[in-house]
Amino acid sequence: MKNNFKRNPIFNPKGNDDVAKRTIIKGQTTGLFQLNATKYQWATSLYQVMVGNFWVPEKVSGLKDDARMFHSTLTEEEQRAYKGILSFLIFLDSIQTVNLPNFSDYVTSPEVNLILSIQAYQEAIHSQSYATILETVVDSKDREEIYYFWRDDKILLGRNKYIGQIYQDFIDKPSDKSFFRGIVANYLLESLYFYNGFAFFDTLVDQMKMLATGRMISYIRRDELTHVTLFSHLIKEIKAEFPEIYDENLIVQMMQSAVEQEIVWGQHILGNKMPGMNRRTTEEYTKWLANQRLELLGIAPLYKDAVQNPYKHLDRLQDTNSDKGNFFESTVVNYTQSSSMNGSWDF
């Protein structure tokens, strides 16, 4: 069958912006951002949350305290994990910033294009956040090592190449299949790949270590949760409007591969000497999280025994009634317009 998967024209005078004619992809829009009439209400709700999450890394205080603690308190294993995990997070947000417009070029809903643009902006802010952390916390001689950790770490290089190739395949040969595969890869990146790294920083915080870095990560994670929501809806809209493109078997297969990669990487970079984390908890957490992300797409759990999160302190850190509930409070709160994400969209 002839593939008709084409990039949106900048301006299409023969297009039709009527909501009744609108589809998530392959629509015939004029190219105008007609936002007074929208089809996807989840996108308009998510827009409010994403805009309300505005923050800038320069307003997060305490990184100089982290710099002292990094050298005086963290073990060698914790320092290595700190550097390696930052390297992977830097890559993930870098590739998202560059690649998101490639997806948006094929989305034919202006309300969804709008929030994809906000996501790209947020990914760029995350990259600036990591630069701010590196500039303040680690020695200048170590920054290059962190950015290019993958040059000397074969496991990280393999992960980066795997993700990058999926995106490159879509750019080189855009088609129904490569687009859907790219969308699924994006969902896995946003919903799974970040989270063992986030759990590491949260575990340090639970031990009252590297608190400013943890604050920065908390705002990044808050953004990433909106990105998870965005791409889960994209996948579900494709399923509803283009069932011939949707491929549940591919999602499950890619999720399984992502879990295997994430466990190998997590166990590699965290080792078995990290207080509060070990090889067993890395595997349990990754599989539990994978089940949660599949459930969000309406897909049955892949790992029947992974029924609970082994990191109880993650819930405690986000419990505003706990002793450490105010940990995430900082100057940046003054720049945050939304008080809560709860209830703002439907997972």
Residues assigned a catalytic role: 130
Helices (H) and strands (E) in the chain, counts: 12, 0
Burial group, residue 239, by CB count within 10 angstroms (0-12, 13-18, 19+): middle
Q: How far is CA 190 from CA 139, 222, 229, 279, 347, in A?
A: 29, 11, 9, 22, 14
In the chain, the amino acid numbered 170 is F
Distances (CA, A) of 62 to 29, 98, 308: 48, 30, 33
CA distance 32 to 30: 6
CB atoms within 10 A of CB 231: 23
Structure tokens at 150: 């993958």
Question: How many Cβ atoms are within 10 Å of 337's Cβ, its own excluded?
Answer: 12
In the chain the first and final C-alpha atoms are separated, in Å, by: 35
